[in-house]
Amino acid sequence: MNHELFQLQEIIKPHEDWFEQRAAGEFKPPMSYTDFLEFRRSLPRPPRLERQTIRARGIEFAVFTSPPIAGPPPIVCVNGGMLYDHSMLWPALSPLAMKRQVILYDQRGRGESSAPPNPGEASVDDDAADIGALRRALGIRRWDIFGHSWGGGIAMLAAAGDQTGVRRMVLADPVWPTSDWMPVLRQNVLARLGPEQRNGVADVSEESLGTPDPNLHSTYSRAVYPAWFADAEMAARFTPPHALSATGTAVLARLRRSGYDWRERLRALSTPTLVLHGDLDPLPIGFPLANDPENSYILPNVRVVVVPASGHMPFWEAPALFFSLIESFL
């Protein structure tokens, strides 16, 4: 184990007895849908996003920006799911736009962005390289970056390849630097879902997800989705769109089929990073709760905050704490 690495990592718990409460099952209940609506009503109306088309690396990217704000750098937001467009994060992240410009975009071959000439050859490295290219095409000297879930993995790789262009990075429930989390996630998802929902996931084998079938991946993604939420009512209120993307499917199938290991690329990433992870997320937290270096985020300049009573979507499930932590960090 690299002891120096873990001395640099700062693990922050919202309360000192978090581990004891976790072991005893003494948690406050997840946010209800009623409380969620009350929080959203307390916010200003989300600003209107301006759409523009930006050409970079041979792709016509659909880019969506909130109004510019003087002072802090803008923050570019990378959604997860691999199949979906920027709407997975908007208006969820609209509170960030109160103090800085928020930039969202549709990844190559998703949403309104054009697909590459050979979608089947697309890789996560393409998605990562696109972010630095977009920054340069937009004429932005430096920005912050936010990534959620698979978007967190893309964000980590993007920052590693464009360190001079990234000031700070925020990761919400990101995938790990290795693919070791995949079988664990499947077990946790099956354990959380009800019988009918569970069948929808169990009917799709892990091996079949290595094939680039857009319909299969879309069906599986929608079947898994309710498990991301800690509260069943919240899960019933939020459903993803039916998204088909040959490009996104090719990227996702390759990662599932071949696995991945980004540790060597990320060890040199010095960008200050905040990781927020829901304590009830079926995707296990990727820092060494049990001193397991294989499950570490590897990043040498990272702060990890466990968000209580939240699953995979802390911006919906614990928004007050989520956004206050981000504001303090940025």
For 182-213, the pLDDT digits (tens) are 999 999 999 999 888 899 999 999 999 999 99
Task: Verify cis geometry, omega within 30 degrees of 0, for the bond prior to 91.
Answer: yes
For range 13-22, the mean pLDDT:
46
Mean pLDDT rounded to a whole number for the chain = 89
The domain in which residue 287 lies consists of 3-329
- Indicate the pairing of strand 273-278 with strand 59-65: unpaired
CA separation for the pair 12, 52 (Å, rounded): 39
> Average pLDDT for residues 241-259, to the nearest whole number?
96
CA distance 89 to 66: 13
Q: What is the pLDDT of residue 242?
A: 87
Structure-block tokens of residue 96: 């960030």
- Rounded-to-5 percentages of helix, strand, coil across the chain: 45, 15, 40
- Quick one: pLDDT at residue 293? 41
Tens digit of each residue's pLDDT (9 = 90 or more) over 5-16:
322 334 444 444
Q: What is the CATH number of the domain that holds 117?
A: 3.40.50.1820
DSSP letter for 74, please.
Answer: P
- Judge residue 60's burial from the number of C-beta atoms within 10 Å of its C-beta, 0-12 exposed, 13-18 middle, 19 or more buried: middle
Q: Residue 269 has what pLDDT?
A: 92
Confidence at residue 21, expressed as pLDDT on a 0 to 100 scale: 52
Phi and psi of 78, rounded to 5°?
-115, 115
Mean predicted confidence (pLDDT) in 267-284 = 92
pLDDT of residue 291: 44
Supply the pLDDT for residue 92: 97
Q: What is the pTM of this model?
A: 0.91
Helical axes 246-258 vs 124-138, angle rounded to 10°: 130
Percent of the chain whose predicted confidence (pLDDT) is above 70: 88
**The pLDDT value given to residue 297:** 62
pLDDT of residue 258: 96
Highest mean pLDDT among 2-16, 204-218, 297-311: 204-218
What pLDDT score was predicted for residue 25?
55
Helices (H), the chain: 3-8, 18-24, 33-41, 124-138, 150-161, 181-192, 195-202, 214-224, 232-237, 246-258, 263-266, 314-317, 319-329
Q: What's the alpha-carbon Rg for the chain, to the nearest Å? A: 19
Q: What is the pLDDT of residue 27?
A: 56
pLDDT tens by residue, 89-148: 999 999 999 999 999 999 999 999 999 999 999 999 999 999 999 999 999 999 999 999
Q: Is the dihedral of CA 126, 129, 133, 134 positive or negative?
A: positive
pLDDT at 245 over 50: yes
Phi–psi pair at 104, nearest 5 degrees? -120, 160
The residue behind tokens 């967190």 is 152
Q: pLDDT at position 284, please? A: 86
The number of domains in the chain is 1
- The whole-number pLDDT of residue 248 equals 98
Give the three-state DSSP class for 204: coil
Instruction: Please check whether residue 34 is in contact with residue 237, taking contact to mean a CB–CB distance below 8 angstroms.
Output: no
Q: Label residues 135-168 b or e (16+ Cβ within 10 Å = b).
A: beebeeeebbbbbbbbbbbbbbbbbbbbeebbbb
What separation in angstroms does the CA of 49 have from each of 106, 118, 298?
13, 30, 35
Check if the beta carbon of residue 140 is closer than 8 Å to that of residue 132.
Answer: no
State pLDDT tens for residues 29-46. Answer: 788 899 999 999 999 999
pLDDT band at 240 (very low <50, low <70, confident <90, very high): confident
